């Protein structure tokens, strides 16, 4: 790809499909100059998931970069770090047996009226096995549908809710295993709202499927059986191997992904090992 020609201030190495890329040639311990920030935002919009290797940044630098990308999003149902209300520490101790956090296909906080545009995750301690993060290109998934299917989906409103995870009868309410991450089960999570099933990216203009097995619980104005049939097809379509990028972590790597056109899944497989990450989100807009 013509990455070298496209960016004046950074080096961008895309994945073969163009979905996912590695960005080098910058130092995130200091605020980015306007031209560098513009190139980073352009690369992120183009590739959906971008990794910044060899970035030994602290919490303050992570917070500062998040603010440069557009300001903090709101992270509900998880207790933040003391003194850092916009940072979540995703720590899993070697002796923990609970399911690893994020082990289900989702787009972060899609049940919010304005879900986060981006999620940033910085790796501090990476186990020697397991722990990959998988991403789905939801824009390419939409483009692979027939024109007839696209037309059928266009007017539909998907129903999003946190109830399956954080609700009073959700998965985390049934947790009996020790978990370092402090999760807050809430009746608020049992509420729901609707977003367009197909949303348009505000920067690229590309359309993407905006549904996920974790947070999409139905489709407005359809019977449960009709919604289940359509969503079941879309979930299987989205998670086909051809649309997935598997991210392998290294320590001191920052990863940033676009929640508006991707889903992701956090793999486990590292029982007996410590894994430690720091996470922020960037505020987004109401899907259209």
Encoded tokens for 65 = 């970069």
**247 in catalytic set:** no
Residue 161, classed as helix, strand or coil, is: strand
Bridge-based pairing state of the strands 192-196 and 157-161 = antiparallel
Question: Annotated catalytic, 279?
Answer: yes
Residue tagged active-site, from 92, 140, 247, 264: 264
Is 250 an active-site residue?
no
Indicate if 264 belongs to the active site.
yes
Q: Is 253 helix (H, G, I), strand (E, B) or coil?
A: coil
- In 3-state terms the chain splits into helix, strand, coil percentages (rounded to 5) of 25, 25, 50
Catalytic residue among 160, 199, 278, 279: 279
Would you give the distance in Å from CA 81 to the centre of its chain? 20
Contacts of 144 (CB under 8 A, 6+ apart): 237, 243
Q: Quickly list DSSP for 9-51.
A: SSEEEE-TTSSSEEEES--TTSPPPHHHHHHHHHHHHHHSEEE
Determine which one of 39, 75, 108, 137 is catalytic.
Answer: 108
Helical (H) or strand (E) element with 262 = strand 262-266
Which residue is catalytic, options 47, 106, 160, 275? 106
What residues are labeled active site?
106, 108, 264, 279
């Amino acid at each position: 790809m013509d990455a070298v020609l496209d960016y004046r201030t950074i080096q961008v190495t895309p994945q073969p499909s163009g979905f996912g890329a590695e960005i080098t040639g910058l130092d995130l311990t200091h605020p980015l100059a306007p031209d560098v920030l513009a190139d980073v935002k352009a690369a992120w919009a183009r590739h959906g998931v971008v990794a910044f290797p060899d970035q030994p940044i602290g919490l303050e630098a992570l917070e500062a970069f998040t603010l440069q990308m557009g300001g903090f999003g709101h992270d509900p149902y998880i207790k933040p770090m003391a003194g850092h209300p916009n940072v979540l520490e995703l720590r899993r101790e070697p002796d923990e047996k609970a399911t690893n956090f994020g082990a289900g296909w989702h787009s972060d906080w899609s049940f919010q009226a304005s879900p986060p545009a981006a999620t940033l995750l910085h790796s501090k301690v990476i186990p020697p096995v397991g722990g990959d993060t998988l991403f789905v290109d939801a824009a390419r998934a939409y483009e692979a549908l027939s024109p007839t299917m696209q037309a059928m989906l266009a007017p539909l409103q998907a129903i999003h809710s946190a109830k399956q995870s954080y609700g009073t009868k959700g998965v985390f309410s049934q947790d009996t295993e020790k978990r370092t991450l402090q999760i807050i089960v809430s009746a608020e999570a049992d509420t729901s709202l609707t977003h367009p099933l197909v949303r348009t990216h505000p920067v690229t203009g590309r359309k993407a499927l905006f549904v996920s097995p974790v947070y999409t619980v139905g489709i407005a104005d359809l019977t449960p059986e009709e919604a289940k049939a359509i969503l079941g097809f879309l979930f299987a379509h989205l998670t086909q191997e051809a649309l997935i990028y598997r991210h392998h972590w290294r320590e001191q790597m920052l990863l940033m992904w676009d929640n508006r056109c991707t889903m992701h899944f956090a793999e486990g497989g590292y029982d007996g090992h410590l894994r430690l990450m720091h996470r922020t989100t960037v505020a987004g807009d109401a899907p259209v």
